[in-house]
Structures are given as structure tokens and as C-alpha cells.
């Protein structure tokens, strides 16, 4: 089993920045990909960044250029740096890890971008 704990969400004004962190514990040796998803009210959960164990990254066009995903394998931590935030970035952001018995999800952290 893998446990994921997110932090770093909050309220920010348009154009502001936030950095989300997610720390994994438990059977972390089995983790391959780590990712961030978000879900806004009434919408489906969507991928906003993924980083594999070897450092390969993927960011969808909707956030490319504004979001950066990074990972520190020795600390079992994945980060999501978000800049130039827009109201449409408002959502609950979830950390995701894929392991031998995964996928695993964190409890989510709220990001609210105000005008």
C-alpha cells in the first residue's frame, strides 16, 4: 500500500503562484509514475502533469508553460509548481501514484483562484 499526502493548496489571486507537494509513504519502492490531477465542480477529473520514475514528464496543453511538475525520488515527493494562475484553474488537486498494487490517490487539496 501507498499513502499520499498533498499540501500547498489555498486561495490565490489571478496571476498568482502556488506550489503543491505530495509525499508518498508505504510501499514507495513499487511506485512508477506520479501525477497530479484536478477536478472542478461538475467536471471530470483531468490530468495536469505526470512524471515517470526515470524523469520523463508530460503536461497537457491546457497548463503547459504555466505548470511544472518535478519529482524527488529520494524523498518520495512530487511537486506541481503553478504560475500565472487563472480562475479556470480552480479545482481540487489530487496526487496520484501508480505502483504494483496501484493506482493510489491522495485526499486532495483545494486551489481557488480569485478575480
pLDDT tens for 27-84 read: 898 899 999 999 999 999 999 999 999 999 999 999 999 999 999 989 999 999 999 9
CA atoms of 24 and 33, how far apart (whole Å): 12
DSSP string, 31-75: ---EEEEEE-TTS--EEEEEE-TT--EE--TTTBTTEEEEEEGGG
- Beta-bridge partner residues of 78: 22, 71
Amino acid at each position: 500500500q501507498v499513502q499520499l499526502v498533498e499540501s500547498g493548496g489555498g486561495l490565490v489571486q489571478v496571476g498568482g503562484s502556488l506550489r503543491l507537494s505530495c509525499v508518498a509513504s508505504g510501499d514507495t519502492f513499487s511506485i512508477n509514475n506520479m501525477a497530479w490531477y484536478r477536478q472542478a465542480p461538475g467536471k471530470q477529473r483531468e490530468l495536469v502533469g505526470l512524471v515517470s520514475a526515470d524523469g520523463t514528464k508530460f503536461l497537457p496543453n491546457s497548463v503547459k508553460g504555466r505548470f511544472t511538475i518535478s519529482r524527488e525520488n529520494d524523498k518520495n515527493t512530487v511537486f506541481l509548481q503553478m504560475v500565472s494562475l487563472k480562475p479556470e484553474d480552480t479545482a481540487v488537486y489530487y496526487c496520484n501514484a501508480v505502483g504494483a498494487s496501484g493506482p493510489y490517490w491522495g485526499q486532495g487539496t483545494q486551489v481557488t483562484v480569485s478575480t
